[in-house]
Amino acid sequence: MDKNVILDPIHGYIEFDKMKSSLFDTPQMQRLRRIKQLGFSNLVYPGANHTRFEHSMGAMHLASLFLKIQRENETAISAVSDYDALDEIVVASLLHDIGHGPFSHATEKLIEQYTRKSHDDVRHILAESEVGDVLNEFGFTPSRIAKHISGDTPVSQILSSEIDVDKMDYLARDMHYTGVTSGSVDYIRLLNHLEYFESKLVLDAGAIRAAEGLLVSRYWMNVSVYYHHVSRIAETMCSRACAYLLENQIVRPQEFARLDDIGLMSIMRNEEGFAGEIAARLDDRNLYKRALYTGYEAVGSGIFEQRKNVGRIEKEIAEDAHVEPEYVIIDIPSKPEMAEMKALVMDKGMKKLTDASLFVKDLEHVQIENWKMGVFTPKEHLEAVSKAAYDFFEIETKPKTKQIALTDLLENDSQ
């Protein structure tokens, strides 16, 4: 097949053939051009305007490189029982994000709640859209591609596992567009040292340093970008506005799931109620403020059980503060973990990365020190909501928190 190229700022020239070009041109793929990869992170990092479309191309490119490496390594390829699936995983890597809703993770939980489908359950999209027509035309079975995207096949580990092409691309891409330069993603070395062993994707010992670099990148991106308080505030505000749209049947769940960022903001702006107010605040970066923002040490392990009671707690705090419930938003992130730490390494026997690298093992303990939960409210309600929040969570005074940095970790290791 004739090859064409696209110039990508992360990987350089990316090759694509007629089949991939046809997939690019489907409405389902083009929608990804209008969904920001990092949601509202551009309110903190102005350059973070890259999209799911770019990331999807990058993941496809890395999967293609992996396929090329595997085919050049006859010993590695013999461990893959389903040889045809290697070609399919490249296609799946291109299509793996077509199930994402507007503003990516800001609406993910709502879509799953109302449609009973996660973002990687794309069987219905592949079966009922132009994407499925293209796949059938070029000899691919949509249901098989969908299984790879949902992680239900051994081969799909290169797309969805502890260390995969999805993570390699989005970490490198997110670092580039935000300007965060700590850490590195040596995806060439990782891809050359990943192989299937007894249907498991494992690293050999030659990639431990590269895996450590990826973990450092993930750590700094978590601290600096993914869990930045401004991004979290904006995302929770957007999520609450979307819940208002769905609860009041202003938009149907299936329609909501297929919106892009532009379409969602248009609907919100046209609403005169709560959703319209939130849209105006997001447009003007007039965000809620931190009435409570504290770490694990202040609230204890029981806080994670409270994640399922957030709505009730918001109402209690609002009632105590004498404000409307929509003016109290609570964000309790899940217990921090980096799945990459569980990657399997072949180093004098099979072991987890945490057992193969003392650095990674130490890094595992640092995450919880940087975890933060927040209670957010408009500026005019800050004092009342802050008092009510501190009372509810039984925090006597504002704790002095310290962000644990990798420099602290390295100093401790050297002592």
Is residue 356 pLDDT above 60, yes or no? yes
Q: How far apart are CA 383 and CA 373, in angstroms?
A: 18
Whether pLDDT at 372 is above 90 = yes
CA dist 134 → 58, 138, 143, 399 (Å): 20, 6, 13, 57
Q: Give the confidence band of 232 by pLDDT, cuts at 50, 70, 90.
A: very high
Least confident window among 46-55, 64-73, 376-385 = 64-73
Judge whether 287 and 281 are in contact, CB under 8 Å: yes
* 72-108 pLDDT tens trace: 876 555 545 565 677 899 999 999 999 999 998 899 9
H or E stretch at 345? strand 344-346
pLDDT attached to residue 398:
55
Strand duo 200-204 + 4-8: pairing:
unpaired
Question: How much of the chain exceeds pLDDT 70, in percent?
Answer: 92
Strands 372-377 and 289-295: antiparallel
Task: Enumerate the domain spans of the chain.
Answer: 4-228+344-365, 229-336+366-414
End-to-end CA distance of the chain: 59
pLDDT of residue 261: 98
Please give the CATH architecture assigned to the domain spanning 4-228+344-365. Orthogonal Bundle (1.10)
Strands 12-16 and 194-197: unpaired
Query: Which residues of 167-309 form beta strands (DSSP E)?
Result: 194-197, 200-204, 289-295
Q: Which two tokens stand for residue 172?
A: 């490198």
CA separation for the pair 58, 150 (Å, rounded): 19
- What is the residue-averaged pLDDT of the chain? 90
Query: Read out DSSP for 63-78?
Result: HHHHHHHHHH-HHHHT
Helices (H), 96-141: 108-115, 123-127, 130-137
pLDDT surpasses 60 at 404: no
The reply to whether 4-228+344-365 and 229-336+366-414 are identical in fold is no
CA 53, 59, 65, 70 dihedral sign is negative
CATH 1.20.1250 applies to domain 229-336+366-414: yes
CA nearest 280: which of 241, 245, 230? 241
The secondary structure of 166-186 as a DSSP string is: HHHHHHHHHHHHH---SS---
What value, to the nearest 5°, has the Cα angle with vertex 85 and ends 81 and 86? Answer: 95
**Which tens digits make up the pLDDT trace of 124-168?**
999 989 999 999 999 999 999 999 999 998 889 999 998 999 999
Could you tell me which residues come within 8 angstroms of residue 49 by beta carbon, excluding any fewer than 6 positions away?
Answer: 36, 42, 177
pLDDT of 354: 85
Does residue 69 register a pLDDT over 80?
yes
Query: Per residue in 274-325, pLDDT tens?
Result: 999 999 999 999 999 999 999 988 998 889 999 999 999 999 999 999 999 9
pLDDT given for residue 323 in this prediction: 97
In 3D space, the residue among 212, 242, 311 whose CA is nearest the CA of residue 101 turns out to be 242
Dist. CA 393–CA 399, nearest whole Å: 13
Tell me what pLDDT residue 97 has: 97
- Dihedral (Cα; 278, 284, 285, 287), 10-degree rounding: -40
* pLDDT more than 90, % of the chain: 69
pTM for the model: 0.90
pLDDT tens track for 163-222: 999 999 999 999 999 999 877 899 999 999 998 887 788 999 888 999 989 988 998 999
